[in-house]
Amino acid sequence: MDNAYKLLVSYILPKEISESFDLVNVAEEKLRGKDRIMLHLYLDEKATPPDDRTDLKPNGFYPESNVLDFPIREYTTVLHVRRRRWLDTTGNTVSRNWKLAAEGTRISPEFAAFLKEVVGLDPNNC
C-alpha cells in the first residue's frame, strides 16, 4: 500500500516536491457561500541534509509557505510547505534554496506556465 500511495503522490505533485517532501496531512475546506471545496496538502521537507553534509544538525522548520497549485479534479489546491532548517558546527543556519513558487506569485511554476500558455493569463499581472 505504501508504494501505491507514493506512486499516486508522484503523479499529483510537482516532481521536485514529491521527491523531496513528505505528504503529512490532507484537509478539505468548504468555501463559505460556495458549493466548492479547497484541498489543502501539507508537506514537510524530508530529513536529508543539504548536499549530503554530515556536519549539520536538525533545527526545526521555517514558517510554512502556501503555494497555489494545479486544481486536483474540481478542487482548488493549496500546498502548505515547511522547509527544514539545519545548523552547522559554527551555529550558522543552512537550508536548501527551493523555487516553489513562480517569481512574484504564490503559484507553482508549472501552474503559472500553464496559465500563461494555455489560458493567456499572466499571473504576474493579476
pLDDT score of 40 = 93
pTM of the shown model: 0.74
10-49 residue pLDDT tens: 888 877 788 888 999 999 999 887 788 889 999 999 999 9
CA distances from 12 to 21, 56, 62, 96, 119 (A): 13, 31, 24, 23, 21
In the structure grid, which three cell numbers stand for residue 84, read together? 527544514
Mean pLDDT, all residues of the chain: 79
Q: Flag whether pLDDT at 100 surpasses 60.
A: no
- State residue 44's pLDDT score: 94
Residue 64: is its pLDDT beyond 80? yes
Max CA distance (Å), the chain: 53
